[in-house]
Structure 1
Amino acid sequence: MTRTRAVFRYLLITGLKLALIGLVLVAGYLIYLDASLTKRFSSNRFQAPALVYARSLELVPGSTIAAPTVIAELERLSYQRVTQITDSGQYQQSGSSLTIYRRPFDFADGPAMARRVRLEFAAGGIRGIQSLPDGRALNRFRLEAPLLGRLAGGSDEDRLLVGLELVPNLLIETLLLVEDRDFYHHAGISVSSIARAAVANLIAMRTVQGGSTLTQQLVKNLYLTRERSLWRKANEALMALIIDYRFSKNEILETYLNEVYFGQDRGSAIHGIGLASRLYFGKQVQELTASDIALLVGVIKGPSYYDPRRYPERALERRDMILQLMLEHNLLDPNSYQMAVAAKLMPTGSGQLVKARLPHYLERVQQELSQIALPHNWQQQGLRVFTYFDPNAQQAAEQALQQQLAQVSKDPLLQGAVVVVNHQQAGIAAVVGDRQPRAVGFNRALNAMRPVGSLVKPLIYAAAFEHQGLELGQVIRDEPIVVPRQGQADWQPQNYDETFLGDLSVYDALVQSRNVPAVKLAQQVGIKQLVAMLQATGVDTPIPEVPALALGSVALSPLQVSEIYAMLAQSGKHRPVAAIAAMTDHQGLNLYQRSPQTAQQVFSAEVGYLINYGLRGVINEGTGKTLAQLVGSQQLAGKSGTTNDYRDSWFVAYDQQHVFSVWVGRDDNQPVGLTGSRGALPVVAALLQQFKPQPLQLEMPATVTVVNFHRQLGVPIPDDCEAGLRVPARFKTMPEDQGCSGTVEKKSWWQRLF
């Protein structure tokens, strides 16, 4: 007996020692978990991507925007066309009026509530905008910005962080009803739920029910693997206890709602209720209906199995089951239940966050993001990047490039690029870097450095106007010249048609894009002066200081060309162009706002007017006549460009608001046999057929007037002389007795007297 007691005592003491060691180890592990979990949960719960948005379509009375353009934007935003508007995200068309119930949206300059308006259209565009129901006239109205895509910060998870205050109470109550009814009463784990699940699984002899709380699910999603083991379950329980002890229930619930997985969209994992609402319904969280809420809560159980896009029958059955639960627990009244059950599973057109990939534009956005100073921990709060992107311009550019390249040449290696810039905002509106607009790879719009040919000529004329006092009506001689080159053979530039026209006006030389007059002027101005002007327009790549620069030997990208012509469209005022306008975090806190930069005046406004007048002549009388026939005269200005052996075909046109730049060529620099007017111009023409131009309005400076010039002598002659060339000039000085011949006429004493 004594021996038995000794053995028992030994085992008891040993067991107590082991238990004490176990308690110490568990306590130490709990202390470690507490320290690490508290820090991680407080500051690094998950990574949020940069969500990139297009411009917000701004509607203003008097603008030329037509009703179909507004409807296309509404469809892009997944608005529903209805016969009677009852909720935000809907619109109704009746005759010449369009009623819109805009959703709430956090714009870059602050949040805007849901709002209902009526647009009245006339033949020329928007006639008026009324606020409803009060009927008050509005001078502007914005639609929310379409989502373009995401730029991940190191993970493939997409989420739009939302605060708990934005989540409808019905969603929270339904979630807790289905997933964790005792959420506000347990300490992170629920013994009753575990017991209930154990009994159900024992009866079924398989796993049919889980006992995990929302806190345990959150821990598993954030910190643990999918491994099925007792150690993982024990770890999960301990971590849930710690998080529940350290953080409030509302913090845990908000984190869960931003973390829970809802499925895939184009290879990205959609996490959180914010993006799930957009993915499945095209709505903000606060707009969700009872039917929407039931579907989202139902999807949580198995995002792949209950995916409403792939398995609508399963998803519908699951949604209706949850609606029945909501009715039984008085979350819905019978009428609301009947309406929810009768509702469509998903709106037509939803099921995708982004309608199309935009790799070329997003590449530019990413370039700019890397140059902007952002908080080092921005991924914890996420970014919302607001850009100048115009979906209508992008669509028109993509279609024009694809269609026209196939028509102008059968060469399968022919490539192209299109850039559209809003020169009023210095904002990049569209970028197409490949004839296949979804192709990921070499982005020709940003990175193809190609000789620009005659596109450089307007800068030569601007320099001559600015520094040599040249006028459009003066005469320049088109004749053979020899340009000496140091260390090389002399250069004898030729015109495109290999002829020489003799004396012609500066205006005609510019409009007809004659090579020799441009080379002459470049020699007079000086190549260094031309290089300085190019650099003043934002060119930061090498520029060869050689005579051939006058004919466009400098290699530039289509985006750089667009920036130069944006400066020309702004009458000599240069501002760097950009894609990003503003940035906020996911909660709406402003992180970056592009400041209105002071424009650098590259040359005077008077010179700018003369150049714009000449480039409008290129469209009306020169190589761009096809565009004038298409859109009407006085609508556009522009310039063509062709390089040696027809390797590069360029055309740039601009209206009152946008610059349209097109390059066509081959990546291997082989000849394509296309001039600027035969290769690139048809792309611009097709683009403008869809994206209607705004008429170019040239404001003549007070120091400029219209002067009648003698066509052969280039001197001012009286206004009533019919054979003259009437063009703007910065002076109107004529000899007192000068006649239509351009020379001083001798008069009799009788004529001199009277």
Structure 2
Amino acid sequence: MSKKQSAKQQKPSWWRRAIVLSLKLALIGLIVLVGYVIYLDATLTDRFSSNRYQAPALIYGRSLVVEPQASLTRATLIHELKQLNYAAVQRVDDTGQYRVTQFGVEFYRRPFDFATGPQMAQRVQVNFAGDQVQSVQSLPDGRALNRIQLEPPYLGRLSGGSQEDRLLIGLERVPSLLIETLILVEDRDFYHHAGVSVTAIARAALANLSAMRTVQGGSTLTQQLIKNLYLTRDRSLWRKANEALMALVIDYRFSKNEILETYLNEVYFGQDRGSAIHGVGLASRLYFGKQVEELEPAEIALLVGIVKGPSYYDPRRYPERAQQRRDLILQLMLAQNLISQKQYVAAVEAPVMGSTSGRLVSDNMPHFMELVKFELGQMRLPENWQQDGLRVFTYFDPAMQRAAESALTGELPKISQDAELQGAVVVANHQQAGVTAVVGDRNPRQVGFNRAVAAMRPVGSLIKPLIYAEAFEANNEYELGSLVVDEPLTLEQPGQVAWQPQNFDKKYKGPMLAYDALAQSRNVPAVRLGLHVGIDRLAAVLQQSGVDTPIPEVPAVTLGAVALSPVNIAEIYSMLAQQGTYRPLRSIRAVTNHQGLTLYQREFKTDVEVFSKSAAYLVNYGLRGVINEGTGSRLADRFGINKLAGKSGTTNDYRDSWFVAYDHQHVFTVWLGRDDNQPVQLTGSSGALRIVEQVLQRTPIAPLQLHEPVGIEAAGFHPNKGVRIPVDCRNSRLLPAREKKLPENLGCSGDIEEKSWWQRLF
């Protein structure tokens, strides 16, 4: 054998070299693949465990509490039920239904995770007597209930940057029919594959080949979840391969139920006002106004159908297309015995969406939501709260908000034709120290300058009750029946023009009782009394009542030369309505995460007694007189006497019109003026009072209850001298006053009368 032939025999053939190279490359590829899988396992597992998605802060209003003797009309309750998407039926059989009965309303309250904990569904009968709740009964047993609480209305969302909306729910809350239908339509082998289904891929390939186009996908629920959470919509082979690897890792590391729960909270269902709606929890609210537990077969079929193409099968835009998809899924449900023939017929005949608006929130509440956002920013919440989301429970009352908005928008054009006239309304529940309604612009939907919070304007006569209260507090001898002087006053101030305060009518009435001066809002007596109390003390009282802005310590403060916002005023008058006890007004009562864990519960540990109960009672009595017979008598004429207390306020040159009224539960504060501070030619009674009147016209009034505290009695006063006289004197002015033992021989003139020898004898 030659050397040349021997060399040829020793040299490997090309295919052997190719095999060896391929094996080396395969080994390298395997090493890279293993390394990448290890990397995915480390990073993906951590991300999936702790940061699957961002959940927003969902904002809720107050829960309407229905209890015996509550001031509530049947019409108001029915309207509340309609707003919560309860369906009117002939017979109440299921949650979310109601019917009007002979004496009241029967309804089936939905289950709900309240701030205080979850409550089960409950069927009740509420009976009415006039404008009050007479009784609340549990059905069908007829047992008397102390109260029933409706689920709160959803107001909107706040997020940390994400435009995704979702309400996180546990798998245990999702109806089994929804789970079974989803798996039937989207991934029949879900519980049997390892994250990637070879049979599903083969089935999809055959279907696509026979149709010569893409008609079916082979992705599992796990792959769909991975794509939604971590990948782009790119259709490249690399993206599909990456998706498959990630699905295998997730399926290996997590249980099927964990994956399914995450999918149900992540799956995309469409848009609502620019926000992406994710998860069945919020989608059921969006399309049906229901909680996910309440979904019927037709609604379940529609939701599962939307998953395939949220835009293409949007029932709000393409109801016929959505119905065809829904009915196809109903056929599958029937064929797999998930529903009965009777259920199938009822579901096919059901409307696609019913009477819901197809929106989570009908109207945005920008001015109230601004308060909520500010308060959330002041709280110590977990830094990663978006992982578990927030559920924020507020004091917001939708009925009160509607009343405030309608009053301002409807009455403002009647009061003035000035298109620049602006207004703000704040309604606060002084019993709970909560803000229930806010309007910060003549256009309630206008986003921007919120006058209810940010308009700092002089308050005029609204400050007078604080002057009188401090006088009652500081001087036990000073009373509603004491004399005050309404005569010209000149104050010399170094380096300034002398100040001569005047009354609104430019007249003076001389000596008069303090009660009359307060009820008639006389300026000069208030100035004299304020100077006697002390400007520094008046500033301290304002600070104790929640004012944290600088207060000018000048004599003009006695006539309201201090700039405050409508919210500040609502806080001050809430303090008066609460017998002199200050509690800061808040919009938020509680915060939980989406699973119901309490993160914040409001507690009242910082109450400040600004005035004693005795001093506050005397002022409240005087402010009730403002409504009964003073500058607010228009309200007494409309709604009756002794139901309200209040005060008007007007500033120099008629630049600001204020009015505050309060009943036993709410404080109603209204401001009118122009942003450029030009005169509006309105007094508190001719402007703001009319807005308050319209708000009260639209809401039930809880009559003011003034209970005399210990140490207060009915006393008689001489109308001209302002001194105590016996209550049975014909000329006696009866007013509440501190208990005082009068001399036995006190006469009706206010003087001590000497008894005759005959009277002394007997």
TM-score normalised by the chain length of structure 1: 0.98
Equivalent pair of 1:91/1:99 in contact (CA under 8 Å):
yes
The residue type paired with residue 466 of structure 2 is L
Checking the alignment, whether the CA contact within 8 Å between 1:78 and 1:350 is kept in structure 2 is: no
Deviates more, 1:344-353 or 1:240-249: 344-353
| 1:116 is aligned to 2:123 | yes
Q: Which residue of 2 aligns with 1:718?
A: 726
- In structure 2, which of residues 567, 575, 593 is the aligned counterpart of residue 559 of structure 1? 567
- Given that residues 570 and 668 in structure 2 are in contact (C-alpha distance below 8 angstroms), is that contact kept between their aligned partners in structure 1? yes
Whether 1:611 aligns to 2:623 is: no
5 Å-filtered alignment, 1:409-428, equals 409-428=416-435
Tell me which residue corresponds to 1:33.
Answer: 40
Letter in 2 for 1:159: R
Match of residue 206, structure 2, among 199, 208, 216 = 199
CA deviation after TM superposition for structure 1 residue 45, in Å: 0.3
Residue correspondence of structure 1 range 210-609 to structure 2 within 5 A:
210-469=217-476, 470-609=478-617
Q: Separation in 2 of the partners of 1:168 and 1:714?
A: 75
Q: Distance in 1 between matches of 2:700 and 2:455?
A: 28
Corresponding residue SS for 2:600: strand
Paired residue secondary structure (2:492): strand
Q: What's 2:687 paired with?
A: 679
Assess if the C-alpha contact under 8 Å between 2:590 and 2:602 holds in 1. Answer: yes
Q: Partner letter of residue 653 of structure 1?
A: A
Counterparts of 1:103 and 1:736 in 2: how far apart (Å)? 67
1:122 deviation in Å?
1.8
> Residue 59 of structure 2 corresponds to which residue in structure 1?
52
CA contact (8 A) 2:71 2:701 kept: no
Does structure 2 conserve the Cα–Cα contact (< 8 Å) formed by 1:163 and 1:254?
yes
1:732 Cα shift? 3.5
Listed as ranges, the gaps of 5+ residues in structure 1 are none
Residue of 732, 740, 749 corresponding to 1:741: 749
Counterpart residue identity of residue 56, structure 2: P
* Counterparts of 2:727 and 2:299, CA distance in 1: 74
Query: Whole-Å Cα distance in 2 between the matches of residues 139 and 160 of structure 1?
Result: 31
Amino acid at match of 2:190: F
2:736 alignment partner AA: P
Query: What amino acid maps onto 2:139 in structure 1?
Result: L
Q: CA deviation digits over 1:245-294, x for unaligned, max 9? A: 11111111100000000111121111001001111111111111111110
Q: Is 1:448–1:558's contact at 8 Å kept on the other side of the alignment?
A: yes
Q: One-letter code of the match for 1:297? A: V
Indicate conservation of the 8 Å contact 1:77/1:282, yes or no. yes
Displacement after TM superposition at 1:344 (Å):
2.2
CA distance in structure 2 between the partners assigned to 1:314 and 1:10 by the alignment: 59
Q: Distance in 2 between matches of 1:120 and 1:747?
A: 63
Matched, 1:729 2:743: no
Secondary structure of the structure 1 residue equivalent to 2:709: coil
What secondary structure sits across from 2:724 in the alignment? coil
Distance 1:170 1:732 in 2: 76
Q: Which residue of 2 aligns with 1:19?
A: 26
The alignment's TM-score, normalised by the length of structure 2, stands at 0.97
CA distance 1:311–1:4, shift in 2 (3 Å): farther
Per-residue deviation at 1:721? 2.1
Q: Distance in 1 between matches of 2:579 and 2:341?
A: 67
1:718 CA displacement: 2.1
CA drift of 1:581 comes to: 0.7
Tell me by how many angstroms 1:543 deviates.
0.8
1:182, distance to aligned residue in structure 2 (A):
0.7
The 8 Å contact of residues 71 and 700 in structure 2, kept in 1 or not, is answered as no
CA distance in 1, matches of 2:760, 2:507: 46
The alpha-carbon deviation at position 740 of structure 1 amounts to 2.1
Query: Counterparts of 2:160 and 2:329 in 1: how far apart (Å)?
Result: 36
Secondary structure (helix, strand or coil) at the match of 1:286 reads helix
One-letter identity of the residue aligned with 1:596: F
- How far is 1:571 from its partner? 1.2
Equivalent residue number for residue 157 of structure 2? 150
Structure 2: tracts of 5 or more residues without a match? 1-7
- 2:582·2:610 contact (CA, 8 Å) conserved in 1? yes
Cα deviations by residue, 1:727-747 (Å, 9 ceiling, x for unpaired) = 111144444433222233455
Q: After superposition, what is the alpha-carbon deviation per residue over 1:79-121, rounded to whole angstroms, capped at 9, x for unaligned?
A: 0000012211101112113111111111111111111111122
How far the C-alpha of 1:753 sits from its partner, in A, is 3.7
Counterpart AA for 1:560: N
Q: Which moved more, 1:555-564 or 1:698-707?
A: 698-707
Please report how far the alpha carbon of residue 622 of structure 1 lies from its aligned counterpart in structure 2 after TM superposition.
Answer: 0.9
Amino acid at match of 1:658: H
Q: Is the CA contact (8 Å cut-off) linking 1:571 and 1:609 kept in structure 2?
A: yes
Residues in 2 aligned to 1:113 and 1:296: alpha-carbon distance in whole angstroms: 25
Following superposition, the deviation at residue 494 of structure 1 comes to 1.1
Q: How does 1:645-660 map to 2 (within 5 A)?
A: 645-660=653-668
Number of corresponding residues? 754
| 2:712 maps to 1:697 | no
- Does 2:176 correspond to 1:169? yes
Distance in 1, Cα, partners of 2:636 & 2:662: 12
Stretch deviating more after TM superposition (474-483 or 339-348):
339-348
Native 8 Å contact 1:290 1:340 kept in 2: yes
**Which secondary structure does the structure 2 equivalent of 1:484 belong to?**
coil
1:92 is paired with a residue whose SS is strand
Matched, 1:100 2:119: no
Match of 1:707 among 708, 715, 718: 715
The CA distance in 2 between the partners of 1:298 and 1:144, in whole Å, is 29
| Counterpart Cα distance in 1 of 2:465 and 2:459 | 12
Say if 2:631 is the partner of 1:623: yes
Q: Aligned letter for 1:641?
A: G
CA deviation map 1:524-573 (0-9, x unaligned): 11111001101111111111111111010111110010000000001101
Separation of aligned partners in 1, 2:529 and 2:130 = 47
Query: What displacement does 1:371 show?
Result: 1.1
- Measured in 1, the distance between the counterparts of 2:104 and 2:741 equals 56
**Structure 1 Cα separation of the partners of residues 521 and 225 of structure 2:** 68
| Distance in structure 2 (CA, Å) of the matches to 1:500 and 1:561 | 29
> Per-residue deviation at 1:4?
7.8
Alignment partners' CA distance in 2, 1:276 and 1:600: 45
SS across alignment from 1:35: helix
Going from structure 1 to structure 2, the CA distance change for 1:623 and 1:2 (only over 3 Å counts) comes to farther
CA distance in 1, matches of 2:251, 2:131: 62
Q: Deviations over 1:509-538 (max 9, x none)?
A: 111111111111111111110011011111
Partners of 2:421 and 2:673 within 8 A in 1:
yes
> 2:3: which partner in 1?
none
Q: How big is the alpha-carbon RMSD for the aligned residues of Structure 1 and Structure 2?
A: 1.4
With 330-339 and 527-536 compared, the bigger mean Cα shift is at 330-339
* Deviation for aligned residue 1:350: 4.2
CA contact (8 A) 1:48 1:153 kept: no
Q: Does the residue aligned with 2:725 lie in a helix, a strand or coil?
A: coil
SS in 2 for 1:370: helix
Q: Which amino acid aligns with 2:364?
A: R
| In structure 1, distance between residues paired with 2:450 and 2:131 | 37
Q: CA deviation at 1:206?
A: 1.9
Q: For 2:494 and 2:229, how far apart are their aligned partners in 1?
A: 69
